[in-house]
Amino acid sequence: MKRLAGLGLGLGLALMLAPMVGGAQTLAQNNEAMFRDMQEWRGLSGATMDRIRAIFAGAPQMGQGNPAITRHPMTPAEAATRLGGSVESVRRGYRNARFERICGRPYEVPLYDPATQRPEDARVCAHMFEYPNVPLTYPVVWVRADQAVALCAAEGARIGDAHEWEGAAAGALLPPDYNFSLGSQQAMRAWHNQRYASQSNVYSIGEWRRGVCATGSSKSPQCNGGSWTGCGSNTYPTGSFPQCHSPLGVYDIDGNAAEHMNLPLAENQMASRGSTILGVTEMKGSWFIWDTVRAHEHWARWRAPYWHGSRVLSTGSHSNYHLGFRCFRDIR
């Protein structure tokens, strides 16, 4: 990991100048290759993979983007070369023995407050990378919030609450701060953002710096509204930018794909407290063209407007070409 992190900012320009590469296979073929990587590198069981495949089978657009229109800025092999190794060696390099002793699985990160705790005190772990949580794979997009919940549950994990994602990004998991008494998402959001207004320039990487994260790609020229046929998911392989991680070690939480999270409007809707009814959708993070198109405000502890809002478990919840997710898992 130290060798990966030491590659530094010099990668930024080279990565942005990499040739554009389109998907050469069908969506089903790309998904099947991804499933094999998940089983090989994360050690997921055959039964777990059967559950995951069944969820994908019911979602004809879910995957790493529409291969007919997606143009990824680099392949996993190109990313590995820029990181000084092969795909296999880079994936091995992202393994963290201490984290694995705590979380029990590869590519998971303990969440805690460094001011008062050690990693071993963590009660929840976050996926190190966006789903499928294998370094040097493209993030899954065109996924609804309820499907994200199902995919996390299929492997014994869950969707994260907004405050957990914010802690993972900012580098300190703080106690939940949902002011339920305010009675609405809008009022709760305004209260929270005002509370953390002094941190409005703090991202997962600290102060924002261009070229450090997966934010230098391009939007499909014909993409004018988010359609499957017009908008490519022009993401980078996860982990391509070794300095794009939070102080806790969560990667690509800025850039690449935005991420579904759960925003509870009452205590019984908190995923972190075992809720099965959950709250409303909260879209976190930025996307793969953030360096050139800042379509909205964003910082580590910022809570978004009720964009495309719904209940998390609604089968009509939103999906698009730059929206993915990551899972969280309770360990105590």
- Choose among 32, 66, 72, 64: nearest CA to 49: 32
> With 50 as the cut, is the pLDDT of residue 219 above it?
yes
Helix (H, G, I), strand (E, B) or coil at 178: coil
- Written as one letter, the residue type at 212 is V
> With 90 as the cut, is the pLDDT of residue 313 above it?
yes
> With 60 as the cut, is the pLDDT of residue 64 above it?
yes
Alpha helices in the chain (DSSP H): 2-5, 11-16, 27-42, 46-57, 76-82, 87-93, 97-103, 145-154, 162-170, 185-195
133-142, 294-303, 322-331, range with the lowest pLDDT: 294-303
Angle in degrees, CA 48, 36, 143, rounded to 5 = 65
Instruction: Give the whole-number percent of the chain exceeding pLDDT 70.
Output: 92
Residue 104 has a CB neighbour count (10 Å cut-off) of 11
13-17, 230-234, 266-270, 283-287, range with the lowest pLDDT: 13-17
φ/ψ of residue 310, rounded to 5? -165, 175
Domain that holds residue 8: 2-330
Helix (H, G, I), strand (E, B) or coil at 87: helix
> With 60 as the cut, is the pLDDT of residue 265 above it?
yes
Under 8 Å between Cβ of 94 and 242:
no
Which range among 24-28, 80-84, 291-295 has the greatest average pLDDT?
80-84
**The whole model's pTM is what?**
0.92
Mean of the pLDDT values across residues 167-172? Answer: 98
Q: Which residues, other chains included, contact 264 with Cβ-Cβ below 8 Å and sequence gap of 6+?
A: 161, 162, 178, 180, 270, 271, 275, 278, 279
How far apart CA 9 and CA 11 sit, in angstroms, is 5
**Average of per-residue pLDDT values in the chain:** 92
Per-residue pLDDT at 24: 56
- Choose among 260, 265, 256: nearest CA to 159: 260
pLDDT band at 11 (very low <50, low <70, confident <90, very high): very low
Q: What is the pLDDT of residues 16-42, one digit of tens each?
A: 333 334 445 899 999 999 999 999 999
Cis check for the bond before 264: say yes or no (omega within 30 of 0).
no
Per-residue pLDDT at 12: 39
Under 8 Å between Cβ of 162 and 261:
yes
| Tokens standing for residue 186 | 């809008």
Under 8 Å between Cβ of 122 and 233:
no
β-partners of residue 206 are 203
Mean of the pLDDT values across residues 266-273? Answer: 98
Per-residue pLDDT at 20: 39
Number of domains in the chain: 1
